[in-house]
Amino acid sequence: MTSSLLTDLYELTMLRAAREAGVADRRCVFEVFARSLPEGRRYGALAGTGRVLEAIADFRFDDSDLRYLRSTGVLDEDTLDHLAQYRFTGDVHGYAEGELYFPNSPVLRVEGTFGNAVLLETVILSIINHDSGVASVGSRMVTAARGRPCIEMGGRRVHEDAAIHAARAAYVVGFDSTSNLAAGAHYRIPVAGTAAHAFTLLFDTEEEAFRAQLASQGTDTALLVDTYDVEQAVRTAVELAGPELGAVRLDSGDLEEQAGSLRKLLDSLGATSTRITATGDLDEYRVEELADAPVDGYGIGTKLVTGGGHPAPGFVYKLVEREGSDGQMHPVGKKSRSKATLGAGKHAYRMLVGGRAHAELVLPGEAEVAEFERELHAELNTAGASADWGRTELRPLQVPLILGGEPVESLSQPELVQQARRRHQESLTELGLSPDDGPDGPVAIPTVTDGTEAARVLR
C-alpha cells in the first residue's frame, strides 16, 4: 500500500488551487512542534521519526489511488497527472528519534516547494503524534520501574496497527520486550508472554493447567496464579516446578499487598529466586506505588498504549517561512488570538553545563546562534560566572534526515529503533531527573530564544 491516501483531502485541493494560481513552486519551510506539554509532564519523548522516513519514501500515488481521487470529482486531470509523478524532492531535518522534546521544540523541519511539502502534513503528524504520545508516557513508566523490566502488552486495547507501533515506541524509551508478534517481526523487538486465564480454565483443574504449561515451556515460565485462589495456586506451582519456577504473574486485586504475601510464601517454599510479575491496568503512578513492593517486573498495557491520559501530544505542521512574489524568503505566521505561531525556520540546541541539560535553545537562524554565544559570554562575564558556567556547550539537536528527497542514512528499521533507544537513554541521563521526584513536576528545562534569556537560566 502507498502512504499517499493517509492524507486529508484539503492538502490536495490546496495543491490544485496553488498550482492554478502559479504559486505551488514557492519554496516553503514547514515545522513540526508541540506548543506545550501536558500538565505535569516534565519532558516529551520523540518517537516515529524512522517511520516518517519510510512513509515519505512510500508517498506516491498509484493507479488505484488516482482512480479513487478521480471518482471524488474534486480534482482535475491536470492535478491528477501531477500527482502521478509526485515524489518528495525536498529536505527534512529533525531531532534524532528518541530525543527529548519541550514546548516549541522544532522536532522536524520540512523544506521544499509548497506543492511538494504540503502533502506530507497528515501522515507526518499521525506518526509523530501517535508514537510520541506512547513514548512520552512509556519513558515515565520505565523511570518509575527503577530498572525492573517492563513488558509492553497493550496491543488488544488499541487499533491493531497502532499496536505494532506502540510496541515500537515503548521499546525506544526502554521497555524490555513486547507481547506483540508483528512488532517482534518488523522491528526485532524481543517478544514475551506466558498464558491467559483461559488456559487455566480449559483444564479440569489448575494443577493440570500448570503441569501442561511447565511441560511445554519449561520451569522458567511465568504461571498465572490468580484464576482461583492465589495461595493454593502458588503452592501447586512450586510443588510442580520446584524452586526453579521462573515467575508467577498477578493480574488483579491489591497488587502491593498480594506481592508481599506472595514473596513470603515463595520464600517459605524455597522458591527464593522465583520472580513476581505484576500486570493489570498499571500506569506510572501505580508502578511508583509498587517501588517498595517485592515486584520483579511489570506488564503494562492500556495506560501505555493510549498515551496515559494524553493520547495526542498536539504536534502541528506549520508553514513558518516561504518565498514571496519578490523571490525572497519571508517568515510567516498566523496572527489571530489563540494559536499564534512564531515564524521562521528555527535551529535548536540543548544547552548543557558540565554535561547536564539546562535549557532548550530555539533560535531563528545560524546568525542568531553566533549572536547568542556572544551575548551569553557577555552575560556570564558580567555576572561573574563560576567555572561551571564556562563549561557551557550547545549540543545541536537537528540532524539531516532527507536531502533532495534521498534519505541520508540507509539504516534498517531495527537499526533505527536501536539507535533511538540509545539516544533516549543518553538524553534522559543528560536531563538528570531522579525517580525519587515522582513522575510529575514542572517542565524540566525552559525553552529559550535568545542569549540574554539563556544567561538568566544559568544564574
Q: Which is nearer to its own copies, 129 or 418 (CB)?
A: 129
Site for its own copies in 353-382 (CB under 8 A): none
Contact call for residue 122 and its own copies (CB under 8 A): yes
Contact call for residue 63 and its own copies (CB under 8 A): no
Contact call for residue 230 and its own copies (CB under 8 A): yes
Q: Which is nearer to its own copies, 156 or 264 (CB)?
A: 156
Q: Count residues near its own copies (CB under 8 A).
A: 102
Which cell is 130 given?
501517535
Contact call for residue 87 and its own copies (CB under 8 A): no
**Closest separation in Å from C-beta 154 to its own copies:** 8
Contact call for residue 158 and its own copies (CB under 8 A): yes
User: Around 383, how many Cα atoms within 13 Å sit in the side-chain half-sphere?
Assistant: 19
Report the SS3 class of residue 172. Answer: helix
Q: Which of 58, 81, 87, 185 binds its own copies (CB under 8 A)?
A: 185
CB crowding 86-114: b at 16 or more within 10 Å, else e:
eebebbbbbbbbbbbbbbbbbbbbbbbbb
Contact call for residue 18 and its own copies (CB under 8 A): yes
**Closest separation in Å from C-beta 192 to its own copies:** 7
Q: Which is nearer to its own copies, 8 or 393 (CB)?
A: 8
Three-state SS annotation for 393-413: EEEECEEEEEECCEECCCCCH
Among the listed ranges 67-75, 86-94, 384-392, 418-426, the one in contact with its own copies (CB under 8 A) is 67-75
Q: Which of 28, 110, 120, 380 binds its own copies (CB under 8 A)?
A: 28
Q: Which of 34, 127, 248, 287 binds its own copies (CB under 8 A)?
A: 127
List Cα–Cα distances, 191 to 86, 166, 261, 353, 437, in angstroms. Answer: 38, 14, 29, 39, 31
Q: Which of 161, 231, 289, 440 binds its own copies (CB under 8 A)?
A: 161
User: Around 100, how many Cα atoms within 13 Å sit in the side-chain half-sphere?
Assistant: 28
Q: Which of 58, 81, 208, 231 binds its own copies (CB under 8 A)?
A: 208
Q: How many other C-beta atoms can be found within 10 angstroms of the C-beta atom of residue 257?
A: 10
Among the listed ranges 245-253, 370-378, 394-402, 448-456, the one in contact with its own copies (CB under 8 A) is 245-253
Site for its own copies in 138-157 (CB under 8 A): 153, 155-157
**Closest separation in Å from C-beta 363 to its own copies:** 21
Contact call for residue 344 and its own copies (CB under 8 A): no
φ, ψ dihedrals at 255, nearest 5°: -65, -40
Contact call for residue 261 and its own copies (CB under 8 A): no
Three-state SS annotation for 132-168: HHHHHHHHHHHHHHCCCCEEECCHHHCCHHHHHHHHH
Site for its own copies in 38-57 (CB under 8 A): 55
Contact call for residue 84 and its own copies (CB under 8 A): no
Q: Which is nearer to its own copies, 206 or 368 (CB)?
A: 206
Which cell is 314 given?
498536539
Which parts of 325-397 fold into alpha helices (H)? 366-383, 387-390
Q: Which of 62, 146, 215, 383 binds its own copies (CB under 8 A)?
A: 215
CA–CA distance, 451 with 202 (Å, rounded to integer): 67
CA–CA distance, 262 with 295 (Å, rounded to integer): 10
Contact call for residue 118 and its own copies (CB under 8 A): yes
Alpha-carbon Rg for the chain, nearest whole angstrom, is: 26
Contact call for residue 23 and its own copies (CB under 8 A): yes
Contact call for residue 387 and its own copies (CB under 8 A): no
Q: Which of 352, 446, 397 is nearest to 43 (CA)?
A: 446
233 CB-near residues (< 8 Å, 6+ apart): 206, 210, 223, 225, 226, 227, 248
**Closest separation in Å from C-beta 271 to its own copies:** 20
Contact between residue 363 and residue 369 where contact means Cβ atoms under 8 Å apart: yes
Contact call for residue 6 and its own copies (CB under 8 A): yes
Q: Which of 57, 212, 329, 385 binds its own copies (CB under 8 A)?
A: 212
Residue holding cell 527464593?
272
Stretch 297-336: interaction string toward its own copies, x if CB under 8 A: -----x---xx---xx----xxx--x-xx------xxxxx
Can you say whether the dihedral through the CA atoms of 404, 408, 411, 415 is positive or negative? negative
